[in-house]
C-alpha cells in the first residue's frame, strides 16, 4: 500500500489558538492516533519545535549559507506530520479530514514515493538502500 504524509500547516493565529487549547487538542489527537493504529494505517506522527529555533541551509549560491529560522511566510511553515499506510489518496484525505485541528490551519496530503520509484543504479541510492536495510526500514 502507498504511504501518504499529512503535513500540518498553520498561521500565527491558528498556532496561537493551538497553544491556548493545547491540553484538549493533545488528548483529542491521542484518541485520533489510537483510531489510526486500530485501523492498521498508522506509521508515524511527529510535531516540530518552534520554527524560530531552527536554521535554514540555503543552497542557492556557490556555497551553502546558514541563517537562523524561520524562513519565508508563516503559511509556508509546517508544524508536524502524520505518516499513514493507506490504500489510496482518497483514504488519506478522509483521514486528514478527521485530524484534530484549530480554525485556520491546513493539512497538505502528499504521497510518499516508493523505493521502486527511485533510481536504483546511482551510488547515492545504493548507499541509502544499504542504510535502510541495516536499520530495518526495508
Q: How many CB atoms lie within 10 A of CB 96?
A: 19
Question: How does pLDDT run across 74-132, given as a tens digit for each residue?
Answer: 556 788 999 999 999 999 999 999 999 888 889 999 999 887 777 766 555 555 556 65
pTM: 0.74
Question: How does pLDDT run across 17-56, given as a tens digit for each residue?
Answer: 877 888 898 899 999 999 999 999 999 999 888 777 888 8
The domain spanning residue 119 has which CATH number? 3.30.70.1060
Question: DSSP letter at 138?
Answer: -
**The total number of structural domains that make up the chain:** 1
Q: What residues make up the domain containing 20?
A: 3-134
The rounded distance, in Å, linking the Cα atoms of 3 and 117 is 13
The rounded distance, in Å, linking the Cα atoms of 138 and 130 is 9
The rounded distance, in Å, linking the Cα atoms of 63 and 138 is 34
Amino acid at each position: 500500500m502507498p504511504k501518504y504524509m499529512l503535513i500540518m500547516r498553520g498561521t500565527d493565529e491558528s498556532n496561537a489558538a493551538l497553544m491556548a487549547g493545547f491540553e484538549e487538542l493533545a488528548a483529542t489527537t491521542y484518541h485520533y492516533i489510537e483510531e489510526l493504529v486500530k485501523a492498521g494505517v498508522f506509521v508515524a506522527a511527529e510535531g516540530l519545535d518552534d520554527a524560530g529555533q531552527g536554521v535554514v541551509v540555503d543552497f542557492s549560491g556557490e556555497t551553502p549559507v546558514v541563517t537562523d529560522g524561520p524562513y519565508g511566510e508563516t503559511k509556508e511553515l509546517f508544524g508536524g506530520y502524520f505518516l499513514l499506510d493507506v490504500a489510496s489518496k482518497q483514504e488519506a484525505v478522509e483521514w486528514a479530514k478527521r485530524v484534530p485541528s484549530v480554525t485556520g490551519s491546513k493539512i497538505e496530503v502528499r504521497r510518499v514515493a516508493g523505493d521502486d520509484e527511485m533510481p536504483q543504479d546511482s551510488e547515492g541510492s545504493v548507499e541509502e538502500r544499504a542504510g535502510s536495510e541495516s536499520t530495518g526500514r526495508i
